[in-house]
Amino acid sequence: MELIIIKLLGFMLVLTRVSAFFLVAPLFGSEIIPARIRMCIIILISIFFASVCTPGVDFSQTSELEALLLLINESIYGFALGLISVLVYSAVKFAGLNIEREMGLTFGEVLDPITNEGAESLSILIDMFFILMFLSANGHHILLLIISKSYQAFPIGHVCSIPELVEGVVKAGSVMMIAGFRLAAPMIAAFLLLLVILAVFSRMMPDMDILFISMPLRVGLGLLILGTFLPFINSFVSEFAEWMGKLLPI
């Protein structure tokens, strides 16, 4: 009976870390996947890792309070891993928001099928394109590899310190901002040049309605540059894996 309790505690610790990770992880944590499917995926992955990973704590000497603290630590660690992953993943969506702002399409909202929230159509298009590139490059395997390496670095019952987790989350937020602005930099530079040209025309021809002319020019220029910009999103998939290796406390 005691052996069953020990095995059950080890499984619960694995289930806590895996479920906390997939609660916020990219793709797996989205509303587009039904809750029952997500639950089945989490349970299957937890059974696998519970059977192959060696516990780092002797659960036979663990009290009820210590078991509760271990579960809390596992949930914090798994949530931090998922949060770091989703922050780096959101760099593409952040770039899409900047592009839409420059094109003047921020008021055209539609329903985002990934989050079930209102979002701009262009950012949804860029996000869906990146998802296709991410899955075609086996990016979902990266998420499973994160869980696997986390148990190599910190076995069942062991997690890293809170300051390391906080540092990883903060760095992931800065990476999202930097990568997002870098992806949107060609578009921002092109619109800055367009504004300079329109300003010159407004000085040369004061009677010309610059606002009326600028809107179709901004949309047309944005779509033209976006067509050349989309293929470069595929390179961010490899960068995503590199940033995960640098930022995750594993």
Q: Which is it for the CA torsion 60, 64, 65, 69, positive or negative?
A: positive
Per-residue confidence (pLDDT) for residue 64, from 0 to 100: 77
Per-residue confidence (pLDDT) for residue 217, from 0 to 100: 80
Identify the CA nearest to 188 among candidates 225, 151, 236. Answer: 225
- Give the pTM: 0.79
Burial of 205 (0-12, 13-18, 19+ CB in 10 A): exposed
Name the β-bridge partners of 55. Answer: 156
Summarize pLDDT for 13-50 with one digit per residue, the tens. Answer: 888 888 888 888 877 777 777 778 888 888 888 888 88
pLDDT at residue 2 is higher than 70:
no
Per-residue confidence (pLDDT) for residue 147, from 0 to 100: 85
Domain ranges within the chain, ordered by starting residue? 2-247
Burial of 81 (0-12, 13-18, 19+ CB in 10 A): buried
113 or 20: which leads in pLDDT = 20
